Structure 1
Amino acid sequence: MRGDPIQRAIDEDLVRVLYAQDPIAFFSHWFSIAVLVAIYWPNIPSPPLFIACFGFYAAANIGSLALWICNRRYPQLVSPRGWIVLHAVRGMLLYAAPGIAVWFAFQSPQSDLPILHTVMLVTLAAGVFMSNGFDLLNFSTSLPFLLLPSIVMHVGAHTFDRTILALVLAFFFCAINVYALSYRKLFRQVVQARVDQQYLAESLAAQKRVAEDASFAKTRFFAAASHDLRQPLHAIGLLAASLNDPAATPVQQAKTSEHIVYNVEALNQLFNQVLELARLESGVTQVIRLHFRLSELFERVGSQYRPQAAAKGLALRIAPTAMIVYDDPVLLERVLSNLLSNAVRYTEQGAIWLGYRRAGRASGGYVEVRDSGVGIPAEEHERIFEEFYQVANPQRDARAGHGLGLPTVKRLVELLGGELELRSAPGRGSVFRFPVQAGDAGALVASLNETVVGGPSAQGRRVLCIDDEASILEGLRSLLGRWGCMVRGVRDEAGALAAIESGFVPDAVLCDYQLAHHRTGAQALIAVRNALADVGHEGLVTLLITGDMASAELAALALQGIPVLHKPVTPARLRRTLEMLWQQAELDKGRTTATIALRETDG
């Protein structure tokens, strides 16, 4: 993944180093031209070829200077790799001239000229190693043109001393290539270390920015939460004190009591919203997917918000649909409740529309909530999903909400595997939509509305409750008893096993997570399941209830599909969860029975 950035960094460093040597090389080559011309001047062999060769050498040197100037003035003209290739072409042309010019030494009657020319070539080769050795392309296009012609000419002389000199040159050629290879490896390591250090520094800087942003967000979150929590608490304190006023009339006391109840409800709502966000952030909120009619969920949510919409003169329209979806109806209800609540709050006239659209999806479609409200400016589309942020409520008037609804919606939709989309503009209303999966009519659960009106699902069910808090057990006995359940409450795992041994075979087990004697609800449920399996009872519905917000064990249980509810649990939430689990267990049992019957028939 990081190979390309490292290679680009190496190329950029190569360009800087290669072109940094060129001004010195320019004068070095002019010196080489002057020395070689002075050596050959007394007796120039083949003057036309000599003039052409050294004229080309001079032109190549001038071209090298022009390329250096172009690189300095227009560094972005080509890519780093392009500059390296151009420099390699420059080296090939520049070093070919003195390399091939050794031919003139062997044509001269002076016997010492080949040695003198070779010494000059070795000097230039040393310069090639120093300036181009860290780049394979530049080194391999310069050194061979410089030394190989001389080696060939010395071998072709067929004399002992020239052959020895050719062998020495060949050894020098091989050795300098080996050293250049080590040079290149060292250069790459140095650049890679620098890139790694730079990458680490950038990573640390990014992490620091994230930490600072998180710290700022946390500070802002607690500041806003503190403000919104203190407001109703302050009001409750003042109102409670006024109840003790002996001069207050019964009417005034009744009105004060109503205000206290209102503020307690507002405080409870805010507290539940904060807890909901915390559960979503901790990753312990479970998704329990069922096949159900979307129209029933629409009707359930619509019935909650029609009175509020009507009170403001708004029309709440729900588009009819026969769609069956496969999703978590409880979490979807929270999403729609928050969206409809916002739509009613920020719409003063017109209508609100709730419906389902396929929108080109092959399987499933989108649930949409539209309103004709004030709309949201484009620059605020990201910020409205921040906790406690509200576009039109800088004074933090609690009557306009707390700014937790949309952050909750966004996280819930993401938990369900979708993405919340927003289209909105000031004065043109807003459209929120998110995807849902298509369901299977053959796996349809009973009507969702049965859990609201008190259908027969809970009637006659045997429920075993395990909790070490006597008050919670009493509350569960009372609540489940009103639903028609037969309830047995015990304080620990041993009590649960004793109840089963006495003949109480439950249809559901509700268990607190933290029990006495350092036992957990998960351990208790396993023991209960094993005990019921021994007496041949299958299809038990289990439900863990906990006040813990973040726990590795709870996250693991959620991944295993073990239902977990987090306190505080409303009676409606508990009722819906139990009945859905019972319905799902009956469907699973029916499918298992059908499969066994089919196998027996086939057999």
Structure 2
Amino acid sequence: MPTPTMAGYRQHPKCTDTLMNCRLTIAHVLQLRLFHTYDPAVEQELFVLGYRNLAVHVLGQTGLSLLVAAGAWATVAHVRVVSWLAYMLVMAVIFGLGIWGFRQRANRPGIHPAVFRQWKVAHLWMVTSTGLGWGGLGFLFVPGAQVNNLMVMTSFAGALAYSAVSNAHDLQGFVVSVSLAIVVLLSQIPAAFGDQALVVMGMCLLYLSVMAWVARNAHLTLIESIQLRLANEHLARKNAENASRAEQANRDKSEFLAAASHDLRQPVHALLLLIEAYRQQVPAAAQHPLILNIATAGQSIGSLFNALMELSRLESGMEQPVVATFELSESITRMVARVRPEADRKNLTLRCQVGKAAERLMLCTDKLLLERMLGNLLTNAVRYTAEGGVLLSLRLAHGGDGYWLEIWDTGVGIAQGDQARIFDPYVQVANRERDRTKGLGLGLAIVRHASELLGIGLTLRSQLGRGSCFRLHLPAGLCTHAPAPQAQQTPTRFLPDSVHIANQLYGRRILLVDDDPMIQHAMQALLGSWGIDLRCAVTGDASAIKVCGSDWQPECVLCDFRLPGAMDGIEMLDYLQDCYPQAVGILQTGELVQTVQARAEEAGYMVMFKPVDALVLASTLGAVLKRHGVERVA
């Protein structure tokens, strides 16, 4: 049987496929290992790095070439030295031209991929030509001149080591240039070293292998560092973009909530006023179950809006505490009295216990915020306690570091896994069915934000099924003691009933500026039932002056914030204040934007947030008119 020839193998279909696969595999390996292309961003970084190294490369090559030529001048034929030096200097000029040719492109923020290819080709030619020059050091060998030959080998080793590091950005150029350089150098070693040629060649190849490994590691390290830096920059840009989008979304949300709050509060505000007006005008129907249910529903909506407003103010950081010194026992008594009717209705024991060391304790903080915290904690304790009782305790903290104000209850308790999240808005672990009679889930969130604002510690201890204890730590720096018992206790003020309203507000002249017809009708019905002389205007400029007339001047101006025209409610109050200096200005608003209240307070106007409870409105009007010394109309 004839032996198959190589030509026979190549003509066989299977052999042809095998050879093709081998070629493709070798090409793939070479492309992957040596000639790999990276993302355009990485390629650009490599391009910029290679461009920046050109100047140092030119200086190093020129300096070392001159030193080698000077060292070989006394031993090597001058023609060889001059020829080699001239070649190296020409390559230095070519490198300089490369710097000049790419200096503009390297400074551009975005480089076209075609420029990368041009740079790679140009740089490959430059380093290959330079590699041939450094390999040409072999032509400077002189048989028997050990010092000269040692100097040449040392110069080649130094150039190879420098190239392994400086060309880390272009592994392909390093491999090609060094391969050609070592081939040229090895071709001259046998004539110069004779019997020792094989040893010298082996040492050169070993050194080349080590430098190739160093170059590969340097290249991979450089690529990884570039990719990591680009990834960090990309992540930073994404974070900045996400932060910008989040800020924009927050602004959009705030604008939406401001508009939605105003639009929703207007009818709720009108509803509460109309309910109270109907109850005032039709006393026989005031206790009808339907009227009571309507009033309860309206009050629930009003409570939700007010809680949302309060929580929004605390979360935004716009709430600034009004620090004052007051007797804590007075606030405790008032808060306990407020929740006692509900505790009595549920047959719960409600007690207040003040330790001897805490008697006559004076607290220097925001009184209103502290009472909000106490009110919410006591209300929750009574609400979630079915039997047993609630205890409010004020005592000296262990170690004398301030005082503990504690609210104990024997209610349902809170599981350990739920204790951290109950201070988040809308979380009610004992009200998963969202029963409105059990609250809205905003009270504890308000307590947490208020405690952080006032610098009062808040902790919780609870056991499921056995009750809870909320502890407020009052720092010693906020606490003092009254030198003696207070001679007079400030009487607890209650909201006025209909008789008190008629006596306090009958005949008062009030101007309402509001463009919503529902609000105007509701205020006319309610304030009219109180005997108030009310006049309504859509805007506060000339139309308000016409409404008032020449013989009628308002004692108080109630002005909405959102009004048609160029001026808002604060600007309208300023205008009307100039026209009627004796009138007290009150701003009514449904805005969630904190700057509205800040502007109003800066201008000296009281702010009432819609929806306003009818009795709160009456109490406020009576107090404001009395405080400003506005005489009752005869």
Q: What's the TM-score, normalizing by structure 2?
A: 0.47
Higher relative contact order (CA 8 A, sep 6+): 2
- Greater gyration radius: 2
